[in-house]
């Protein structure tokens, strides 16, 4: 992957990592599904009136919008609203790397190389170290919801690859049209109309800033660049960069929210970074062949 594409991939992961902190702040005052609906509403409007629809089918746009907007972020926002720490959520969501590679193998015939399998295995061990206290103690529900959200992200990644080399900014904007109504409907059903209306009629600058960050740099820019990279490189090359998201997420949560990392979580984070290093540096250390 060219150096410029590597830089873009790293920038995207920083933006995504900090978005977990923003989500945690947002769901503290706003119903999670309503916040997700607002995110995609403003990601789509008014941009959809100025950016042409990408040259792909409505089925692909709808599929990407559903799995990314409704499934992934609907579940993630609710999990964080139920108590999932922002730092831990930023780590667990990186299971999308392994879901994407797995789906790419079975659905697209891609063959991961030896170093990608080793790096993925090492990174998976890091995730297990971090997740173990959650599965054996409290917080299993929000944790499992986050894992399912990561799987939905993996499906969205595969759909974006199916779209091919289209205008990715238009792809993100137009697919964002799919999510707001289902998310709003779910919020009205689960939170109640009175709660939703109270949140909408009591807007403050904190909510406006939260929605703006999630709609524009996080959704339009970051997911547009991510889809662009996936359309031009194998999934097993691009997705491991997402393992840098926990670094930004953990640092941001610590500095802004005061979330402290447990020793086992810190060890797991270090193991994940090691797995990423194996994925990225493996091709330069020796000839890499598909398995």
The pLDDT tens digits for 45-77 are 889 998 999 989 999 999 999 999 999 999 999
d(Cα 124, Cα 271) in Å, to the nearest integer? 9
The string of pLDDT tens digits covering residues 240-272 is: 787 788 888 888 998 898 887 778 877 887 887
CA nearest neighbour of 127 among 111, 143, 139: 143
Is residue 275 within 8 Å of residue 120, measured between CB atoms? yes
Query: What sign has the CA pseudo-torsion 282, 284, 290, 291?
Result: negative
Mean pLDDT of 153-161: 90
d(Cα 241, Cα 180) in Å, to the nearest integer? 28
Q: What is the dihedral of CA 44, 48, 51, 56, to 10 degrees?
A: 80
CA nearest neighbour of 240 among 261, 225, 226: 226
The 10 Å Cβ neighbour count of residue 116 is 27
d(Cα 194, Cα 172) in Å, to the nearest integer? 31
The string of pLDDT tens digits covering residues 106-142 is: 887 777 778 778 887 888 888 788 777 766 666 678 8
Mean pLDDT of the chain: 86
Confidence of residue 291 (pLDDT cuts 50, 70, 90): low
d(Cα 127, Cα 120) in Å, to the nearest integer? 10
pLDDT of residue 18: 94
Which residue shows structure tokens 């594409």? 5
pTM of the model: 0.85
Domain boundaries, the chain: 3-110+138-256
Question: Is the pLDDT confidence value at 145 over 90?
Answer: yes
pLDDT of residue 63: 96
Mean pLDDT of 217-241: 82
Q: Which 3-state string (H, E, C) describes the chain?
A: CCHHHHHHHHHHHHHHHHHHHHHHHHCCCCCHHHHHHHHHHHHHCCHHHCCCCCCCCHHHHHHHHHHHHHHHHHHHHHHHHCCCCHHHHHHHHHHHHHHHHHHHHHHHCCCCEHHHHHHHHHHHHHHHHHHHHHHHCCCHHHHHHHHHHHHHHHHHHHHHHHHCCCCHHHHHHHHCCCCHHHHHHHHHHHHCHHHHHHHHHCCCHHHHHHHHHHHHHHHHHHHHHHHHHHHHCCHHHHHHHHHHHHHHHHHHHHHHHCCCCCHHHHHHHHHHHHHHHHHHHHHHHCCCCEC
How many residues are given for the chain? 291
Q: How far is CA 232 from the centre of its chain?
A: 19
């Amino acid at each position: 992957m060219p150096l410029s594409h590597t830089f873009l991939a790293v920038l995207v992961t920083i933006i995504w990592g900090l978005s977990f902190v923003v989500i945690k702040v947002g769901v503290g005052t706003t119903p999670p599904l309503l916040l997700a609906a607002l995110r995609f509403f403003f990601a789509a409007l008014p941009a959809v009136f100025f950016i042409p629809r990408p040259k792909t089918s409505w089925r692909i746009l709808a599929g990407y919008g559903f799995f990314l907007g409704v499934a992934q972020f609907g579940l993630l926002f609710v999990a964080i609203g139920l108590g999932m720490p922002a730092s831990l959520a930023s780590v667990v969501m990186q299971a999308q790397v392994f879901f994407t590679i797995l789906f790419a193998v079975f659905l697209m015939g891609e063959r991961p190389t030896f170093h990608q399998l080793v790096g993925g295995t090492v990174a998976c061990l890091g995730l297990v170290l971090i997740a173990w206290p959650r599965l054996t103690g409290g917080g299993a529900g929000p944790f499992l919801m986050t894992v399912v959200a990561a799987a939905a992200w993996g499906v969205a990644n595969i759909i974006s690859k199916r779209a091919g080399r289209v205008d990715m900014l238009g792809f993100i904007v137009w697919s964002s049209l799919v999510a707001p109504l289902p998310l709003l409907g779910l919020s009205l059903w689960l939170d109640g109309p009175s709660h939703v209306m109270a949140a909408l009629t009591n807007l403050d600058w904190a909510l406006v800033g939260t929605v703006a960050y999630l709609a524009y740099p996080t959704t339009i820019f970051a997911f547009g660049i991510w889809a662009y990279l996936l359309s031009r490189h194998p999934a097993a090359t691009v997705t491991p960069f997402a393992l840098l998201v926990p670094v930004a997420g953990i640092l941001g949560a610590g500095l802004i929210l005061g979330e402290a990392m447990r020793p086992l979580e810190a060890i797991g984070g270090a193991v994940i970074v090691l797995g990423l290093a194996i994925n990225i540096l493996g091709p330069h250390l020796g000839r890499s062949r598909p398995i």
